[in-house]
Structure 1
Amino acid sequence: MSRLSRRTLLRSAAGAAVALPAAGLLAAHADAGNSARRKAAGLPLKIVNNSGAYENGSVHVYIVGNDGKQQCWVTPDGQLKPVQLSDNGGDGYTDYAIPLTGNETALQLPEMSGRVYVACGEKLKFKAVEADGGAALAYPAAWVESDPNYPIVHDCAEFTFKGGAMYCNTTMVDMFSVPLSIHLTGDKDQTTGTLKAGARARIFEQVGAAEGFENLVVEDKRVIAPGHGIGAGRFAEDHFAGYIDEVWSRYEGQDLKVTTNAGTFTGRVSGGKLAFTGPAEVSFDKPSTKDVLFCDGALAAPNDGTTGPVAAVLGAAFNRTTLTASADQPTDDPAGFYQGDSAHHYAKAMHEATEDGKAYGFAFDDVGGFASYIEDGAASGMTLTLTPFD
C-alpha cells in the first residue's frame, strides 16, 4: 500500500517554515475503502502526561492542520476553526494552546489532517501569516536558531482523521525532543512510538558520540535531523558523497533490482543516470547528500505508481546504506541497516530507542514497515502520551 502522500507532507513540512500539513496527508488512505465506514463527528483524543519532567500546568497542546479547504486549528472543546490573521495577538502570535486539565486530558478530534504539538515549559509561538490570498500558519522550525520556538522544548505527532479512519505516526523526520507514544483503538488495538526506559538520554548520547553528528545535539532540548543540520551548518553536506559514488560505480557493471507493488524494475547506471526498465521506464540523476536525507530532489517520489515507489525504495536504501550490500531492494533485515562510514547514526539511534524498533528517522522510513505509523479504518479512540524523559 503506497504512502507517498504522507511522504509529500513530511518533505514539505521539513523544508518550509510555513508548513501545510494536511493538504493531502494520507489522502489515498482516507479516500480508499471507507465509504462503508461510519462517519464520525469526532474522535476521542486523550493527552496523557507521564513525562516526569514537566507538571501538567507547564504542558501545552496544539492541534493544527487542514480540513481539506483551509488551514485550521482546534479549540479545547473540539471546535474546528479557520486560521485568521486576526488571531495574532499583541505579541504578534496566535494563542491556540490547549491546557492540560490533569494527567489525562480528554479532547475531541474533528475530521482533519495535521499535527498535535506538545510544548513543555512555555507556549509555542505560532504566527498567522498571509499566503495565497488567505491565512496560513507559520509552524515551528526549531532547527533554525532565529526561530522564536528554538528555545522551547516541543515535538509533534502527525495524523489524518477522515470518515472514521485514523492514520497517524510519531515523527523524528525534522528533529527529536519529546518522547511521544500513540495508542490507537478501533478494529485493532495498536501502540507505536514508545521509547525504552532511559532511551531519550541514550539518543542524545549516541548521536552526540557519532563522528560528524555531534553538532546536531542542542543542549538537552532536541536533536536536529541531519538534513536540517546541513542548512544550519551543523552537518556535512557531503556525508553520503562517498557512498553515493560507490553505488553509482557498482551499478555501472551490474543490475539493481527494485521490487514495488507495480512489479520488479531492473536498473543500471548509464550516462550518469540510474535508469530502470520493467513495468515502466524510470530514471534518476545522481543524488546529493541533501537529496538522500530529505528523500527529495533527485529522489523525489511523485504519486504516480511507478517512479514514486522506486524512488521510495532507493531513498530508504541510501539512508539505510544497504545498496552496496544487496542488489535486490528493498531489504528487510534491520541488522544490516546503518552500516559503514556513511551510516545514518541519527536514524539508527531513533530505531534503537523504540520498544518496537520503529521510528520515522527519514521520510521513506515506512519502506518495509519500519516507521512508527499505525492506522485503523474504524478508529474509536486515540491516546497521545508524553512518556518519561528519564
Structure 2
Amino acid sequence: MITRRSLLGGLAVGTAASGFGLAGHALGAPAPASAARSGRAADGMPLHLVNHSGAYANSSVWIYIVGNDGTQQVHVTPDGALRPVALADNGPDGYTDYAIPLAASGTTTLRLPRMSGRIYTALGGRLKFKAVEDGNGKAALAYPAGWVPSDPNYDVLHDCAEFTYNSGGMYCNTTMVDMFSVPLAITLTGAAEQTTGTLKDGARATVFSDVKAAEGFDRLVIGDKRVIAPGHGLDTGLFDKDYFAPAIDEAWSAYAGKDLTVTTDAGTFTGRVSGGTLSFTGPRGAVGRAAAPAGPVSFDKPSTRDVLFCDGTLAAPNDGARGPVAAVLGAALNRSTLTSQARQPATDPAAFYRQRLTNHYAKAMHAATRDGRAYGFAFDDVAGFASYIEDGAPREITLTLTPF
C-alpha cells in the first residue's frame, strides 16, 4: 500500500512570517511535468465538488488545487489546466488568485490532472497563497498555516484533502495532521467505490467540545473556527512540551526488563532498552518479501514533539527497517499502547487512547468519523486506521463538504 508517509515530498516553502513549510507533509510521486509547462489540460479524470455543508452557499466557497508535478510547483485552473506557479502571479495585494469558484448551484465538476498535492476548501473568504522563491531559485507557494495567528489566512475557515494521481492510480486522504476545521469526505470510484472521512451527524461540534474538555488540550480549540493539532500547539505555546514525558519514561523503563517485539513487512524486530536506548535486533520472518538487511535499529528516548510530529528520534526513513519500526513506535505512543502491549503494532482500536496521557486530539477525530478512520497524526496509517483510500484504476473522485 502506498501511504501518506511513503509518498512524502516537498510541496511548498514557508515564509518567515508564518514559519510554515510543507516539506514532508504532502503526497508525492507525481506525474511528468509537460502539461504544466505547456499550460494545457493534462490527461485527468472528473473531480466532483459537492457542497453539503449546510452553513455556506456555493457562492461563499472557493477551491484551490495546488501541488507539484515532479519538477515544479503547480496549480490547477478552473478549466482543468495545469500551470506552473510564477512569481508574476502575485497581484497588487501580494498574493496569487488561484481560486476556483463553485457552480452557482449543485455539483461542480472539473478535470483533475495527474499531479500530487492538496485540494483546499475556503468558506466565507478567499485564501491567500503567496508565490515565493525557494532555496533553489524556483517559484513555490507559501501555504496557509491555520495554527499561526500572524498567518494571513488565520481568520479564514479552510481545510484540505491530499492526493497523488499518477500512472499507478489515485492515492488520497482527508487529513487532520495539522488541524481540523471543515468536515470533508472523499469518494473514489474505480475498481471499487470507496468513501472515507465522513463525520457522524453533529460530530464537528463534538470534536471541538471533546478536545476542549481534555486536560491540557483546551487551548487548541480556536473558537468555532478550528482545532489545531497538539504538535502545532506545542510550537506556539498552547500545549505542554513535556506532555508525553511520563508515558515515554514508563515505556522505556518497562522494556529495560522485557522484550518489545515490532512486526513490519520486513519481519519481526526484538527490542530492549539499555543505557537509555531502545535497540532492536532482527528482522526475522519477513512478511511477503525478503527480510531487510540486518543492521542496528535503535532509538534514543523521544521527546513529546518527536511523538506528535513523528519526527526527530522517531523520523521514519523509507528504508524498510528503521522507518517502519519508528512508525509503529510513534503510533503506539500516540495511541497510548506501547507500555501495555509488548507486541506491536496493536490492532484493536478498543485498546487505543485509554490512558490519561494520550493524544486526545486524535482520539476525538477517530470517534467522530463514521468508519473510525482519521489522519490525526502522521503515523495513523499504522495498522490501517487512517482516512486513506487508493485505487489502481480510478474513474472519478468526489470531494464533499459534509454537514457542519
Instruction: Tell me if TM exceeds 0.5.
Output: yes
- Report whether the alignment pairs 1:224 with 2:239: no
1:114 is paired with a residue whose SS is strand
Q: CA deviation at 1:297?
A: 0.2
Checking the alignment, whether the CA contact within 8 Å between 2:5 and 2:378 is kept in structure 1 is no
Match of 2:56 in 1: 54
Structure 1 residues without counterparts, runs of 5 or longer? 32-39
Give the corresponding residue for 2:261.
257
TM-score by length of 2: 0.90
State the TM-score, normalized to the length of structure 1: 0.93
Q: Deviations over 1:170-210 (max 9, x none)?
A: 00000000000000000010000000000000000000011
**Counterparts in 2 of 1:112-131, with a 5 A limit?**
112-131=115-134
Q: Return the alpha-carbon distance in structure 1 between the equivalents of residues 337 and 19 of structure 2.
A: 29
- Give the CA deviation at 1:103: 2.6
Alignment equivalent of 2:201, drawn from 197, 200, 216: 197
Question: Are residue 87 (structure 1) and residue 89 (structure 2) matched?
Answer: yes
Q: Is the 8 A contact 1:10 1:173 kept in 2?
A: no
Equivalent in the alignment of 2:72: 70
Counterparts in 2 of 1:4 and 1:170: CA distance versus 1, 3 Å: closer
| Correspondence for 1:179 | 183
- Deviations along 1:218-238, whole A, 9 cap, x unmatched? 000000000000011111111
Within 5 Å, give how 1:231-270 maps onto structure 2. Answer: 231-270=235-274
CA contact (8 A) 2:332 2:338 kept: yes
Q: CA deviation at 1:8?
A: 3.6
- The answer to whether residue 3 in structure 2 is matched with residue 3 in structure 1 is yes
CA shift digits 1:81-113 (9 cap, x unpaired)? 000000000000000000001231001100100
- Give 2:388's match in structure 1, choosing from 369, 373, 381: 373
Residue correspondence of structure 1 range 143-158 to structure 2 within 5 A: 143-158=147-162
CA pair 341-238 structure 1, distance change in 2 beyond 3 A? same
What is the aligned length? 379
Residues 6 and 125 of structure 1, relative CA distance in 2, 3 Å threshold: farther
Cα deviation digits, residues 113-160 of structure 1 (max 9, x gap): 000000000000000001111111000011000000000100000000
> Which residue number in structure 1 is paired with residue 288 of structure 2?
none
How far did 1:44 drift? Answer: 0.5
Q: Where does residue 323 of structure 1 map in the other structure?
A: 338
**Residues of 1 paired with 2:388 and 2:122: CA distance?**
22
Instruction: Name the aligned partner's letter for residue 388 of structure 1.
Output: P
Residue type of the alignment partner of 1:3: T
How far does the alpha carbon of each residue in 1:27-51 deviate from its partner, in whole angstroms, 9 at most, with x for none? 39x99xxxxxxxx810100000000
Q: Distance in 2 between matches of 1:305 and 1:316?
A: 17
Paired residue for 1:104, among 107, 114, 121?
Answer: 107
Residue 272 of structure 1, CA deviation: 1.3
RMSD of equivalent CA atoms: 2.1
Deviation at 1:271, TM superposition (A): 1.6
CA contact 1:207–1:217 (8 Å) conserved in 2: yes
Task: Quote the residue 2:398 is aligned against.
Answer: 383
SS in 2 for 1:158: strand
Give the whole-Å Cα distance in 2 for the aligned partners of 1:79 and 1:113.
14
Give the 3 Å change call, closer, same or farther, for CA 133–11 of structure 1 in structure 2.
closer
The DSSP-based 3-state class of the residue aligned with 1:244 is helix
1:339 to 2:354 alignment: yes
CA contact (8 A) 2:12 2:21 kept: no
Matched residues in 1 for 2:92 and 2:312: separation?
A: 40
Counterpart CA distance in 1 for 2:278 and 2:3 is: 23
SS at match of 2:216: coil
Which segments of 5 or more consecutive residues in structure 2 lack a partner in the other structure? 33-41, 284-293
In the alignment, does 2:20 pair up with 1:17?
yes
**Hey, what's the Cα distance between the residues in 1 that align with 2:249 and 2:270?**
19
Instruction: Give the aligned partner of residue 215 of structure 1.
Output: 219
1:321 partner letter:
S
* 2:275 is the counterpart of 1:271: yes
Partner residue of 2:309? 294
Q: Per the alignment, in what secondary structure is the counterpart of residue 278 of structure 1?
A: strand
The Cα of 1:22 is off from its aligned counterpart by 8.5
The residue that corresponds to 2:29 in the other structure is 27
- CA–CA separation in structure 2 for the residues paired with 1:10 and 1:283: 27
* Amino acid of the structure 2 residue aligned with 1:104: T
Counterpart contact for 1:301–1:311, Cα < 8 Å: yes
Deviation at 1:3?
Answer: 3.0
User: What residue number does 1:135 align with?
Assistant: 139
